[in-house]
Structure formats: C-alpha cells, structure tokens
Amino acid sequence: MPTPPFDLFIIGAGSGGVRAARLAAQRGRRVAVAESAALGGTCVNLGCIPKKLYSYAAHYAESFEEAQGFGWSAERPTLDWERLKHNRAVEIARLNDVYEKLLGNAGVTLIEGRARLAGADAVEVDGQLYRTERILVATGGWPAPPDVPGGELAISSNEVFDLPQFPHRLVVVGGGYIACEFASIFRGLGAEVTQLYRGLQVLRGFDDDVRAFLAEEMRKKGVDLRTHAQVERIERAAGALRVVLRDGSTIAADSVLYATGRKPNTAGLGLAEAGVTLAANGAVVVDESYRSSVANLYAIGDVIDRVQLTPVALAEAMALVEHLYGDSGRAVDYGLVPTAVFTNPSIGTIGCSEAHARERYGAVRVYRSDFRPLRHTLSGSSERTLMKLVVDDATDRVVGLHMVGAEAGEIVQGFAVAMKAGATKAVFDATIGIHPTAAEEFVTMRTPVPA
C-alpha cells in the first residue's frame, strides 16, 4: 500500500487550523491546509480583529466630547464610513498575507477550495483527491440564520463591517456578547441603535451584577436596549425596513443585524457520511484528545462547540499536535479562561460568576466596588466602573474576577495569571496597588458585601 502523500490534512485555515499546521510541519510532518475563503478565519476577517478596530473607531466621538472637560476645543467630528471600511480592509489584507507567509515558511501546502471528506483517509477539494494519514477539521462557526418571516432581509455579523451605506437606524437582535458589542460600536459611531432581546437580561451566563451594570451603562450611552422583546417579522417599508414585534409595535430601521448565535460550520463537509458523530447543532463530537468517532479524524475550535474563543482554539491546536507528534502531554484547562467583551464600557472576566460559585463551593465571600473613574471627574461623562471578586470561603482562593469599565480586558489579563497560579484573597490584599489606576481597586477591596 502506497504511503499517503500527507501526514495531516487540515480543513480550515483559521486560527486553530493554521497553528496546528505550522506546529505539525515544524515537527517534520507533511501537512496540507484547504481553505475556500480568506486566510485567518472568522477572527481575522469577520470577528475579533475588525470588531476591535471598529470598537476603537466608536470611542473617538465620545473622546472628542470628553476632551472639552480637559480644556480642548474642536469642531464636532464626523465619521467617514468609506474611509473606515477601506482602512480596515487594508489591514485585514495585510494579515491575510501574514498568514499565507507563515504557512509557506513552515512548509505547509496551501490548497485553495472547498474541501469535503472522501472516506476516512482522503479529502476532495474541487474535484482533486488528496490522500492523508490523519484529518483535522477546524472550520469554525457560522452565524445562525434568523428564523422569522422576512429574516432574509436581515444581515449577520459577517456583513455588518462592509455595509454600502452607514446604518443611521440600526436594530440589533440578540442578547449575547456579539449583539452587545455591535450595539455599542454602532451607537458610538453615531447610529440610533435599538437592541432587542427576548430574555430577562442580556449576556446570559455572565455574572448577574455584570449583566445588570452593563445594560444600564449601555442605556446611559443611548442604546435603546429592550428586554422581553421578540421579533414577529421583518418587512420592507418606504425604502427601509420595518421590524414588527410580537406586541404589535414597530421599529423603522436602515439595517437589521441578527446576532442570535453561531453554529458549528460542518454543513457540506461529508462528515456524517464518513461516520463522524455530530451533536444536534452540528458540532463534531470529540474525546479529550480531540479525536472524533472516526479514529484518524480530529477536530478543534468553534466546530467542537466547547469554548468559542480564538485563544482556546490556539491552545487546542497546540495540545493536539503535542498529542499526535510530541510527548509533552499538554492539555487545555477550560476551567479558568479569561475573556473580554468589547462593549462600551468593556467587560473583562475570568472564573465563576457569583451564582455559579455559590452552587459549586457553597460558602463564598463577595467583594464589589462601583465607582466613577478619575478620568470622568473632568470629562463630564457619567460612566462608572464595576469591579467584583468572588472568593471561596474554605480556601480563600479567588475563584471569580469581573470588571466592567475602560480597558477591562487589558486589566483582567494580568489578574488571570494570578488566578491560574491559585492566588488567594490574602495574596491580593498583600499586593501593593498602582496609584492612581482603576486596576488597583482589585487589591484594595477589604469589606465583603452582605450575602
């Protein structure tokens, strides 16, 4: 039997797929990657990077206004939507080129086209068959389409970055982090934003104090955030769109953004036909070593629907390559994964919410601080910052750390290292703060709030 031409064939050149390809190739393996879209996957092209760039853009109007409190005077700024889109596209193209060079320099064979399994040891790309010893599926996720009449009139987060005209009236449907982020971004860019969520409070799964605090801050900044609001249908009306709610009320919009979840991107890959077990939502079911029900087929990243974050996909890629071609026994710890939400103000969080901690540990202490940052004593802004620690009473370990405020992600990343190392509240208390910063609040909170 002839030796397969590839040791590892990867379907998908997103963050996880590219990392796995490079690491495997650096270990002397013959690696191919198939991709039908731009290199870098969702994060580079339609997610983290462009979203963060637009988030930066959204803060400038507010910063110009706040500058008056510090003695600056300037004409009211205006947004050039076309320039913003163009500059973003140039940066994304640069990153696409970086990814291509990374693969090429590592000796990875890049195959452009839509891949599909052709048995347990073969992949077909646009009619060409490739034999391989192992297959890795790293195809990420895809926005779930709206399930309402007129849903085809809505856009997803895939299209929102390149709208032909700036949406002066934007309706955002959803209450997850993507919906909240885009509501904040487009409000900051100058749109009238209405956010609709059918549940009780946005950001289900986050700490309840964080959820309530952010919702109030978003409303203060002008987002018309409505809970218990359910869309009945979307229709065209006078050259625009009309969103009809279940209670009979209507909202006029230039664009309607549906951000109600993402699904694993497994359609059309031939996985079920090859005997790969899929979850109800299409996710590839894998074991602790990322092996599917087919012995030589693996999957990582959003397509396995564990933790849908780029750094997690990167960690899974490194763990998988070590498992297949190394001897380190690397494993991904999903217990303490820090994350940020780029709303205005932003969120940084790691560990347990208060409710989860009480359920898991029983007796916990909670420390909470809500204050006006020094910057806003002159800026005139009413924005406030929330910081919260959740401590396991039995061990004194900090098991949850949450922040809503400026640069929350930057601040929480450092504390994530401390929590990963098992820091206790006593260690936090013994740490000298940097004054005057918001971050020092995490090491100066001394009195727990009443249970």
Give me the active site residues, please. 435
Which residue is listed with tokens 């727990």?
448
On whether the CB atoms of residues 72 and 378 are closer than 8 A, the answer is no
Tokens at residue 237, please? Answer: 């009306």
Residues 451, 367: Cα–Cα separation, whole Å: 10
Stated length of the chain? 451
Alpha helical stretches, state H, 193-309: 208-220
What SS3 class is residue 25?
Answer: helix
What SS3 class is residue 422?
Answer: coil
Residue 229 Cα distances to 210, 271, 306, 318, 435, angstroms: 21, 37, 29, 42, 43
Which residue is listed with tokens 């879209």?
37
Compute the CA torsion angle 108, 113, 114, 116 (nearest 10 deg).
-50
Which residue is listed with tokens 């929480």?
412
Measured N-to-C along each axis, helices 81-106 and 15-26 cross at an angle, to the nearest 10 degrees, of: 20
Residues 159, 266: Cα–Cα separation, whole Å: 20
The number of beta carbons lying within 10 Å of the beta carbon of residue 104 is: 11
Backbone angles phi, psi at 392, to 5 degrees: -70, 120
Helix (H) or strand (E) holding 402: strand 398-404
Residues 222, 190: Cα–Cα separation, whole Å: 10
Helix (H) or strand (E) holding 96: helix 81-106
On whether the CB atoms of residues 58 and 65 are closer than 8 A, the answer is no
